[in-house]
């Protein structure tokens, strides 16, 4: 392929990307989907479907149900009210904003620690086959951040 053809293809690619950004009003952020907390109802439905599917796949016994309920109840959900208000954050100076962000991170860490404890309790009551199925279904197994 000669240099001119490569340059034409690169130009066409740039135009295609620019057109899609222009069509969205110049907003090039990709963080507005349901998984970014913008549509919490949709996200909650996705979570419930995933948990129901996982519950069915694991074929839990009656003895395992209590640990399952504790595990699912402890799952930290994105809570918009727990996030610092962007308008209030704009009024703060840099050190104050950092303090607010740190407070928020500490709250998230506390929620995750509680969830980890429940996860360990639940995982301990699973059979080796159930553990493998659980491992395969949990986020992060293959480098992904969210559910399948």
Per-domain boundaries in the chain = 1-30, 39-137
Query: Band of the pLDDT at 95, cuts 50, 70, 90?
Result: very high
Which pLDDT score is estimated for 2? 72
CATH says 39-137 is which class?
mainly alpha
Look at 136 and 7; give whichever has higher pLDDT. Answer: 136
Q: Is the pLDDT of residue 74 over 80?
A: yes
Q: Is the pLDDT of residue 41 over 50?
A: yes
Q: Cα(65)–Cα(63) distance, rounded to whole angstroms?
A: 6
40 and 78 Cβ atoms separated by less than 8 Å? yes
Q: Is the pLDDT of residue 92 over 50?
A: yes
**Average pLDDT for 97-115:** 90
Q: Is 70 exposed, middle or buried (0-12, 13-18, 19+ CB in 10 A)?
A: middle
Q: Is the pLDDT of residue 56 over 80?
A: yes
Q: Cα(45)–Cα(136) distance, rounded to whole angstroms?
A: 21
Angle 64-45-67 (CA atoms, 0-180°, nearest 5)? 15
Which pLDDT score is estimated for 31? 47
Which pLDDT score is estimated for 78? 59
């Amino acid at each position: 392929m000669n240099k001119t053809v490569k340059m034409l293809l690169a130009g066409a690619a740039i135009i295609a990307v620019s057109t899609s950004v222009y069509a969205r009003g110049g907003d090039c952020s990709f963080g507005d989907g349901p998984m970014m907390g913008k549509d919490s109802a949709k996200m909650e439905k996705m979570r419930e479907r995933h948990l129901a599917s996982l519950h069915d796949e694991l074929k839990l016994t009656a003895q395992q149900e209590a640990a399952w309920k504790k595990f699912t109840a402890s799952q930290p959900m994105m809570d918009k009210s727990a996030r610092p208000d962007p308008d209030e954050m704009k009024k703060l100076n840099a050190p104050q904003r950092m303090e607010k962000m740190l407070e928020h991170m500490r709250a998230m860490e506390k929620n995750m620690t509680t969830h980890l404890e429940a996860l360990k309790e639940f995982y301990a009551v699973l059979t080796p086959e159930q553990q493998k199925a659980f491992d395969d279904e949990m986020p992060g197994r293959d480098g992904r951040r969210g559910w399948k």
